[in-house]
A = this chain, B = another copy of it.
Amino acid sequence: MKLYDSTLAPNPRRVRIFLAEKGVEVPTVQVDIGKAENRQPDYLAKNPMGGVPILELDDGTVVAETVAICRYFEGTQPEPPLMGTDPQDAAVVEMWNRRMELEVLIPIAGVFRNTHEFFKGRIPQVPEYGDVCREQATKRLAWLDEVLAERDFIAGDRLTIADITAVCGIDFGRVTGIAIQPDQKNLTRWHAAVSERPSYKA
């Protein structure tokens, strides 16, 4: 088994933190996305979408997409549960993880993709759409601060994949000046709690 990882991007970090919380170690291969190694034929043969991370299993099966990789390990190493414990809890955790993707990580990545130097010449950038993403991300962080007034973690009283998605998304916002505001006390408390865990440095 091999995990194709990159320390530069938020999605591989989600998988690294997930694995650290599970206590699972997987051999990794570093993919240099700065040098577009993920756009070379060898890599595209494994994942035509070109995204990192991917997980290559011993039978040659390639699992792409961050949450699909996490789901594999949730199945093979159920403890501690990070994606829910019964059908209702799994649904609630999935809801929150998707909200953290659709409302936090994707808009923050949208600012980066559409306005940052890194993507110039790599993808068609639309700065005006980057501004729409920035406004959405900023508004959603304010909403998330209210959500966290009611509980310790995003999907309830323990850490789940939703917290991992959120912290990787929010930390990625630093590159484009999106950050938790000083008056967002609940979000600040939550971020401190998540970042004190050993998995945060994975």
Contact = CB atoms under 8 A, between A and B. Distances in A.
Contacts of A168: none
A71 B94 contact: yes
A68 B48 contact: no
Interface in A57-94: 57, 61, 63-65, 67-69, 71-72, 74-76, 86-88, 90-92, 94
Contacts of A129: 114, 126, 128-129, 132
A74 B86 CA distance: 11
B65 A94 contact: yes
A interface bracket (residues with beta carbon within 8 Å of B): 35 or more
A99 B132 contact: no
B75 A92 contact: no
A95 interface: yes
Interface of A: 48-49, 55, 57, 61, 63-65, 67-69, 71-72, 74-76, 86-88, 90-92, 94-95, 98-99, 102-103, 114, 124, 126, 128-129, 132, 135, 143
